[in-house]
Amino acid sequence: MSEQLLYRRRVSTWWWTRKRTYFVFVMRELSSIFIAWFVVFLLRLLSAVGDSRSAYDHFLDWASSPLVVALNVLTLVFITLHAVTWFSLTPQAMAVQVRGRAVPGSVIIAAQYVGLAIVSAFIFWLVTR
Positions touching other proteins (CB under 8 A) are 1, 5-9, 11, 15-16, 18-19, 21-22, 25, 29, 89, 92-95, 100
Tell me which residue of 73, 76, 6 sits closest to 35, measured CA to CA: 76
Shortest separation between residue 15's beta carbon and other proteins, angstroms: 6
Shortest separation between residue 22's beta carbon and other proteins, angstroms: 6
CB count within 10 Å of CB 40 equals: 9
Indicate the residue among 32 and 80 with the shorter CB distance to other proteins: 32
Shortest separation between residue 73's beta carbon and other proteins, angstroms: 27
Indicate the residue among 66 and 100 with the shorter CB distance to other proteins: 100
As a whole number of angstroms, the distance between CA 104 and CA 89 comes to 13
CB count within 10 Å of CB 22 equals: 13
Shortest separation between residue 10's beta carbon and other proteins, angstroms: 9
Give the DSSP letter of residue 106.
H
Torsion on CA atoms 8, 27, 84, 81, rounded to nearest 10: -170
Indicate the residue among 25 and 62 with the shorter CB distance to other proteins: 25
